[in-house]
Every structure is written in structure tokens, then in C-alpha cells.
Chains A and B, each alone.
Chain A
Amino acid sequence: MSANRKKIRQRILYLHAATPNIRSKVIGMALHEPVPGTITELSGQPQQWPYATVHDAVIDEWQIIQFPVQLAPFDDREIDILGYEFILQKLEEYDE
């Protein structure tokens, strides 16, 4: 067995957009790296915002693996969760 064996792992990116349109503004983001010990959490420090829209992330080779559910229960008075959630992936090689 090679000491430098490579494995394909899935990087996961949650992008929360203002509407279900992939060209609407990204308002929230959570990146999960497939590396042991990494964490994804809320920070008080300034953040990097690499993508203004989901479309920008697609151009950067992220693939959308889940779109927001359009048939969610609808109420014309109350509001609940914020934004529309897109889940994206990038498959990349990692050293074992």
C-alpha cells in the first residue's frame, strides 16, 4: 500500500440565498471541510465572503446537490426561517 495514497472527499458548502434564484444575494454561508478536527462555527470576527451569489459558486466549480424546497408550507402573515438553503459540493483529492 502506497504511503501517499489519495482519497476523494466531499467538501460541503451551505449557501443561504435571499430567494430560490441562484443569482440572488447570498446572505449566509457555512463551509464544512472533510478534514478531521476542523470546525464550522459562528465567529465575531470579520468573515470572507467569496461568493455574492450561488451562481458565483457554480462558476468556481461547486456543484449544487440540493436545491431549496419550493413546496414548503406557506403562510401569508408569519415569517420563519431566513433565506433559501442551497447545498453544494466539491470532490477533491486528499492525502490519506
Chain B
Amino acid sequence: MSEAILEHNATGVTTDTQLAAPLLLSDEQVANFVVRGFHVVHTSHPRAFHQAIYDKIAKLPGNPGDGILDEVPELHQIYNDPAVRGALISLLGDHYKMNSHRHCHMNKPGTRSQDWHQDSTNLRHHQVRTVLGMYYPQDVSDDMGPTVVLPGTHFRNAPTDRMATYANFREQVVFDVPAGTVAITHYDIWHAASANTSNKMRYMLKFLFDRAEEPTQPSWNSDPATIDDTATRKLVFERALVCSQSDHYKERGLRYEMWNHLIGKTA
């Protein structure tokens, strides 16, 4: 499948081009997202392309907020990368939308960590309706204030104030990733920017993507012969992190609620 779009080249000039076919996820990968709440993809652009984006952001006079896409239109190419589009289609359906809110997070050297938090308020659900697409235009080492997420916490409806006494968790996942990585996370996952103790700036472009229609069937590369076995193996038996037994039992139910919505199975 290909479709015509307007693509911005490195100088910001728009040209007609074709989108490459999206690289859809497998049952295993979508079930893994349901269990853990995130999926990491690596875009296909050369390092020089990411460096050009980094340099352009570094020259901005301030943080443009939602206007970052106008200032750095090359970001369209990141979010139209076949691996990124494939993951977004798989998780949100064919007609997902880029949300009008986006932000360039600038983690300067010497910046202290954020506290663990979930975005927005605690009116939550157990479906995949919005995801974050976090793009890193530079290599991120573990001392550069990488984003940290806690697997499986997208099912936990926890007011951020009640997380204030947490610091490090044994099983937190650190996005110390190469330039060009896009980490796609469920909107509700617990996350934070860690401390930047290096002498390097760390940029992270956070874009939101929304589901536009209710699922009626898997929107990924699903195998009808094995999908049920895959779901059982992942959703019933896998642990995202160590927690109490009663939490794990409840987590299984919530995983199936999310999975059944994704495969279009109504109650």
C-alpha cells in the first residue's frame, strides 16, 4: 500500500513523494505492548538526518510548543517512517490521527529528574486510544537524562501525588537509545525524565496519536491460526514486573479487556 503525501526535505521544501508500506506488528508484538505498555522502533533514516534535526532544534530561539512541527517539518518524515507508521496503525487502526498537541522536551545538562507521573488526570480506561511517540534525534546515554518508564503501569490508575515518594524501581526501563529511535508508549504509562548528569543536551520530541475509529478486527499482521495461543501465553502467563499476586490476577483481566477491544471483540 502506498499513498501520496507532502514530504518536507532537509531544507523544508515540500515535495510529492510516496509513503513506503508500513511495517505492521505481529500478534506477539501487539500482545507485548498490551502487557508492557510500550514498543520501541528504530527509524530507517541515516544518522546525518537526525543530526540535522538536532541542529535545527538547537538553533531555535525558544521552545515553540505545539509549533515544533512548523519549525522542524522534517519531523513528518520521522513519524511517516514505515516502522513508526506500522506500529501506529497496528495499535490505533488504519486511520489514526496525529494530535495537535506536541512538545519538544529539552533536558539540559544538570537538570534534576522529574517525579514519576501519568499524564493528565485520572479518568482512565483500559483501551488503546492515545499513544505517545517519543523521538530522540541524538544518541541518549544513561547519564543524559533518558526517559524512564515502568512496564505494565499503564493499567494503574494512580494520582501522581501518590507517586511522590518513589525514586528508582528495580525493573524500570531506561530509554538509553541510539539516535533515530521512536518509543511508542500507552498514554497512561508511568514515566519521567531522569536526571541529566552529563554535559550534553538531550532532546525528546513527544507527539501524541489518537484512535479515530473503533476496532472491528486486528489492524496488525495477525495470524488467525496462532493468535489465541499467543494471547494466552502473553496475557495470562507473562509478568511485566514483580507485583503482588492479587494485582497480577487483576492485571490479567485488564489485559484481556485491552486485547479484546483491539481485536474487535465486543462483550
Contacts and interface: CB of A to CB of B under 8 A. Distances in A.
Interface of A: 14, 16, 18-19, 25-31, 39-47, 49, 76-85
Interface string B83-112: 000000000000000000000000000001
A44 B167 contact: no
Contact of B243 (A42, A76, A83): A83
A43 B113 contact: yes
Kindly name the residue among A30, A47, A82 whose own CB sees the greatest number of chain B CB atoms within 10 A.
A82
A27 B194 contact: no
B153 to A, nearest CB: 7
B244 A42 contact: no
Contact of A81 (B115, B163, B194): B163
Contacts of A44: 142-146, 148, 174, 176, 194-195
Contacts of B244: 18-19, 84
Interface residues of B, number: 44
Query: Interface on chain A toward B: helix, strand, loop, or mixed SS?
Result: loop
Nearest to A24: B244
Interface of B: 112-116, 142-146, 148, 150, 153, 155-158, 162-163, 165-172, 174, 176, 190, 192, 194-195, 197, 241-245, 247, 250-251, 253-254
A46 to B, nearest CB: 8
Contacts of B254: 77-79
Contacts of B150: 82
Nearest to A75: B250
Contacts of A79: 155-157, 247, 250-251, 254
Q: Which 8 A-B pairs have the closest CB atoms?
A: A30-B167, A42-B113, A41-B113, A44-B194, A44-B142, A44-B146, A28-B169, A44-B174
Given A27-B170, A81-B156, A41 B250 contact: no
